[in-house]
Structure 1
């Protein structure tokens, strides 16, 4: 069987954080390095904050995530704050200059109430004028249609941290309104299943997303359709948002 710790280590192999080779990582990296204090919401194994500290960030860095196995891996570095919790549980009055949600973490917040509570939590953890930066897949691109074991582009073969050859893929279980339920499978090369993880993602369109942000007290500073900061078009696969916290506290 594959443990939660194994899965956390595998995540790092599948998603190496490298601003030199990944345009999305580069986008966040410059913002993080320029900010005095950063709260990474849904930080996972903490790869971004680890690299920021490695490369000389001297300010306050904190990672927030409810996944304890991922946080255990993140805590290999002790000069960063690691907080077990959700976005809704972010500490009010923390005064962060920047909050980030990378890796489409925002999409794991599914219900309207969860979205409102999460944005309220982040709003409260930012200083007035502080920024929230995150990306969500644009629903027009229908990314979930490629999440299937018969799609070679969605199948990864690799050797994990323990030296085991594994195969990883995804399959969609349902699409109901703007919520996609799916599962990821980790298996031996012979097909023996080691781990199945189920999840749901919400694909908010631009109008709905901005409605939630505005209601939570954020002002939309910029939105892009790609990591080169090009505008959102009918062909965009991402909605990359930079939102600024207003001074309101209600």
Structure 2
């Protein structure tokens, strides 16, 4: 059996946090370093906050995630508050200078009701002047078209510490409006399937994002189209947002 705990380890293998080599990681690490208190919404296995603590951050660091197995792995890192729960259920009031959602976690907020509740809770958790930073895949890039095992870039082969050699790929099940439903497969090199995980992501454009953020009481500080803080253009694959609680 390939357990939830095994999947959490696999996530770290597939997504190593490395600000020295990954521009997106460097971007967020810079924001965290400059903030005295940080809420990581959808923290997963906690690698981002653990890196910040290990590299000298002395302020308050809090990770929030609904995935029990991921949080169990995050709790290996001490000196950080790990909280099991959803963005919509966050109950802090004016406690953070910075809130962050990385790894395209924002796209897991599917319905308008969940988006509104989540944004309202993040807004409430921030101090006046606090910022909310996140990224979402720009729908114009149609990233989901590369999520299939016939695309060599989507098939990853690696060795898991307990699962041994593995092959991981994705396949799209449906595209309906701005919702893309897909599944990820973890298998042996011979094709024996160990685990299949299903997910739906929402792809919103900048205008829709701005409207939802404004409704929640945010002001937009910046939109970027790349990790070097370039503008959003017709070729951008990302919409990177910084919003502020007035």
TM-score normalised by length of structure 2: 0.99
**Structure 1 residue 198 and structure 2 residue 198: aligned?**
yes
Task: Count the aligned residue pairs.
Answer: 246
Give the 5 Å matches for 1:1-250: 1-162=1-162, 164-246=164-246
Cα distance in 1 for partners of 2:71, 2:92 equals 21
- Could you tell me which runs of 5 or more consecutive residues in structure 1 were left unpaired when the two chains were aligned: none
Report deviation, 1:94.
4.6
Q: RMSD over aligned Cα, in angstroms?
A: 0.7
Deviations 1:200-221 (A, max 9, x none): 0000011111100000000000
Cα distance in 1 for partners of 2:163, 2:99 equals 35
Q: Is the 8 A contact 2:94 2:128 kept in 1?
A: no
Cα distance in 2 for partners of 1:146, 1:40 equals 28
Q: Is the 8 A contact 2:6 2:163 kept in 1?
A: no
Cα distance in 1 for partners of 2:245, 2:138 equals 23
Q: Is the 8 A contact 2:225 2:231 kept in 1?
A: yes
Report deviation, 1:161.
2.2
TM-score normalised by length of structure 1: 0.97
Q: Which runs of 4+ in 1 moved over 3 A?
A: none
Report deviation, 1:89.
1.2
Report deviation, 1:93.
1.0
Cα distance in 1 for partners of 2:35, 2:22 equals 20
For residue 89 of structure 1, give the secondary structure of its aligned residue in structure 2: coil
- Could you tell me which runs of 5 or more consecutive residues in structure 2 were left unpaired when the two chains were aligned: none
Cα distance in 2 for partners of 1:199, 1:94 equals 32
